[in-house]
Amino acid sequence: MTAAAGGHRLARAPATAALLIILAQASGLTRAQTDDPGASGAAPRAAEHGQHRPQEAAPDHAHSLSLDGAGAVMNENAGTLPRDCAEVSRDQEITVYAGREFAAEFPGNTFGLSQHEYYVEPCSRITVTFVNNDDVRHQWMVHGLPRYLYPTGMFHIEAAGGHSRTGTFIVPSDHRTYLVHCDMPQHMERGMKAQLKVGRGSGDLWSIPGVSGDFERDSYLPRGITLWFLLAVLSGAAIFSLLTYRRGGLTLPGGARRHGVRSDREA
């Protein structure tokens, strides 16, 4: 590299540094204007578009969590009405049991709920007592609630094995079917799924045990089917032997018959 070329590069270096400083300052100013709603007319724009975001969580509705060794309740709401409700229409109480014993009647399921469908009135305040009969954690979680009132649209109860927890929430006025499930890994896929119908609901969800069919049917046979199959085969063989006996005895090799019936050779 020649001395002249080196001199040109050294001369350009301060200019490049100055340009980077200017760009950094401009970027900082832009961020400050974004963070400050009152800067550069941001407040009118926020007011203009605020009406298009009614479902966003407000700052005073961050996740609320009640947690102890027995479990947790998240986003409980016993007093704040949804925007479309003038008052609480009714107080309803639901007790739900979770455990392996509730999966016995559904082939292929490992876990289950004592009830897989719940009916409530619009604008009702619902108190859920969730009782876990198993030795592992289970959850009772509702999805699709208004996000301005329930962050991420969720109400959540979790109970440790052998414990129970109680929580309250208020549903909106629309007639809708909400998903209820356990969010522990693979628990929903193994049977812990239900639906909450507000008013008339909006139809049935897929794969609700005892309520609706699956996308793909399980290939599992009902529990105890092998025993019932063997009993059916033995019963059929016994009936066939009895009918044959009553018609004149069983035919033996050589054409002879039992009970003194002579064969053609003996005649």
Domains along the chain with CATH numbers: 59-198 (2.60.40.420), 225-255 (no CATH)
pLDDT (tens digit per residue) in 215-227? 555 455 555 677 8
Residue 16 token pair: 């490049």
Looking at per-residue pLDDT, the higher value among 22 and 223 belongs to 223
CA distances from 89 to 31, 70, 142 (A): 46, 31, 20
pLDDT score, position 157: 98
The C-alpha atoms of residue 138 and residue 155 are separated, in whole angstroms, by 14
The band of 242, judged by pLDDT with boundaries at 50, 70 and 90, is confident
Please state, as a whole number, how many other Cβ atoms lie within 10 Å of the Cβ of residue 126.
Answer: 22
**Per-residue confidence (pLDDT) for residue 231, from 0 to 100:** 86
Q: In whole angstroms, what is the distance from residue 148 CA to residue 167 CA?
A: 19
Query: Six-digit token pair at 60?
Result: 């005073």
Mean pLDDT over each residue of the chain, to the nearest integer: 77
Tell me the whole-structure pTM to 2 decimals: 0.59
Q: Looking up tokens 């969720």, which residue turns up?
A: 154
- For residues 174-178, average pLDDT: 97
- The percent of residues in the chain predicted with pLDDT above 90, rounded, is 50
pLDDT digits (tens, 9 = 90+) for 191-212: 999 999 999 999 999 889 989 8
**Cα distance between residue 14 and residue 145, in whole Å:** 57
Please, what sign has the CA dihedral across residues 88, 172, 169, 63? negative
Q: How far apart are CA 249 and CA 74, in angstroms?
A: 76
- Could you read off the pLDDT of 131-158 as tens digits, one per residue? 999 999 999 999 999 999 999 999 999 9
pLDDT value of position 27: 43
The pLDDT of residue 257: 54
* Alpha-carbon gap, residue 74 to 175, rounded angstroms: 24
Confidence of residue 250 (pLDDT cuts 50, 70, 90): low
β-partners of residue 194 are 180
Residue 23 is predicted with a pLDDT of 46
